[in-house]
Amino acid sequence: MTQDHTPLNTSRADLLARLEEERTYDLAVIGGGATGLGVALDAAVRGFSVVLVESHDFAKGTSSRATKLVHGGVRYLAQGNIALVREALHERTTLLRNAPHLAQPLAFVMPSYRCWESPFYGVGLKMYDALAGSAGLGATEFLGVQRTLQCLPTARPDGLKGGVKYWDGQFDDARLALALARTAARHGALLVNYCVARSLVHDAGKVSGVLCEDTETGKAYKIRARCVVNATGVWVDALRQQDSEATHRPVRPIVAPSQGVHVVVDREFLPSDHALMVPKTADGRVLFAVPWLGKVILGTTDSPRNDLDREPEPFAQELQFILGESARYLRRAPGPSDIRSIWVGLRPLVKPEDDDGNNTKSLSREHTVLVSRSGLVTVTGGKWTTYRAMAEDVLDKCFEKGLLPGRPAGGTVRLPLVGTPSGPVQHRMCDPQGWHSYGSEEAFVRDLPGAAASLGGEVTEAMVRFAARFEYARTVEDVLARRRRVLFLDARQAAAAAPDVARILQEETGVDPGLEAFLRLTERYVALPGA
């Protein structure tokens, strides 16, 4: 396990001073979500010089809006994609081991209301266990009615025939992304958020760098790099198009965005450390009710989306689906007034060349790595669980195309991320957020000024100061949405804490922390579509 270290300072002045240095990096990564951060970490661990720029905050987009599951992809079995399931199960184990304070096993129960459901789904889950092998988290069990209700005390008892229990994992996605960033920095990588890549630099038809801009000051920076990776998620096509225009080689878009909506309610609707999983709802979708950080997440949906809003809003029919299907399985179903937060993520699904992307449910969840004739490496698709394997595939492609000299893989397989404690983890991911999310750094955070000064939502003054000094935080949103998860758990509570967070951030950074913008955002997270 990792030793405790004094956290690295993330002073913005220091980061920008390093960015201004005249040098050529081995690798420049554009995009600070799970994929880009994974690539940066893997490359840094192999000894490459790495710089990563992110236009907003790390994990601002899809990577903070997952269903919070670390999973092997049970439903991919039905599609016959055994290879994807096997890879995801392997990576699940790796992720849970390398960040146990942020990712842990979770038991799921499928309640059966038809006699055929338990044996039908149970067989598939036994296959899931077999594919996991030694990486399994627990054996699938067939449950009777009483045991099912013990695991899911608020499930509808009428017509219940029993259930099936299986194991997967859950995590705190945004904090895991931050741990990846901070671990990469510890291995020498330079990571800068709020630094937008304005254009690619080409020399003799080859990509040789990036022109970027500090969004706080407007100052421009030119980054030179032997290899440039486009890891901008659902936005990868914009850079691909820019690259094609510079080289006069047309490209077709490869991303079909899919929207996933999540509704957060209080734990009283599912007072359990087991998640509820419905493998096939009335319209063929999957429904989860997942205990997470003291609340319950209900979701998700899979709706095609053509626009690429940074803060996408749910469609009215999506909210109706989640609440309506919840009512079919929960004894007391949540209504609109019970909603604490609604948030939406955009999946970067990769479409075949002859696909218009209108049926996102049928599109592959696998990732894609492409290299243009100019040498621009683009990676998109995939899912959080396999971020590490995706990073290895990206570097393999860089080696194959001669963009970087080959170096052995595997350095991230057993690499504890920043904050990994030396002993067993005592808390569960379904517990309310608290000091424990800092892992081995908890004592350091507690020693900062304001450890006892609560701001609401399990946030203290010391946590805000730590976020500003050591976790790259610049805005109220950075703190209350991603360093602490209050916005995603209870938007009204986040709004109440925001003025105090803004005051402390202003003291720490000396820049406008975006209080008014954040308060407007909290309103969107409780707004009902169509209301």
Predicted confidence (pLDDT) per residue in 91-110, tens digit: 999 999 999 999 999 999 99
- Dihedral (C-alpha) 201, 204, 205, 209: value to the nearest 10 degrees? -20
Q: Is 238 exposed, middle or buried (0-12, 13-18, 19+ CB in 10 A)?
A: middle
Q: What is the pLDDT of residue 355?
A: 41
Is the pLDDT at 42 greater than 50, yes or no?
yes
Q: Which residues lie across from 277 on neighbouring strands?
A: 288
Is the pLDDT at 361 greater than 90, yes or no?
no
Integer Rg of the chain from CA:
22
Mean pLDDT score of the chain? 94
Alpha carbon distance, N-terminus to C-terminus of the chain: 51
Q: What is the pLDDT of residue 481?
A: 98
How many percent of the chain have pLDDT more than 70?
96
Q: What is the pLDDT of residue 353?
A: 55
Q: How confident is the model at residue 530 (pLDDT cuts 50, 70, 90)?
A: confident
More confident residue, 58 or 282: 58
Q: What is the pLDDT of residue 1?
A: 38
pLDDT digits (tens, 9 = 90+) for 49-84: 999 999 999 999 999 999 999 998 877 777 777 888
Burial 109-118 (b: 16+ CB within 10 A, else e): bbbbbeeebb
Decide if 88 contacts 147 (C-beta within 8 A): no
Domains and CATH numbers, the chain: 12-62+174-254+351-400 (3.50.50.60), 89-169+256-348 (3.30.9.10), 435-524 (no CATH)
Name the region of 358 (left: φ>0; alpha: ψ -120 to 50; beta: rest).
alpha
Is the pLDDT at 284 greater than 80, yes or no?
no
pLDDT, mean of residues 397-408: 98
How many percent of the chain have pLDDT more than 90?
88
CA distance 329 to 267: 15
Is the pLDDT at 7 greater than 70, yes or no?
yes
Q: Is 242 exposed, middle or buried (0-12, 13-18, 19+ CB in 10 A)?
A: middle
Is the pLDDT at 410 greater than 60, yes or no?
yes
Is 0.85 surpassed by the pTM of this model?
yes
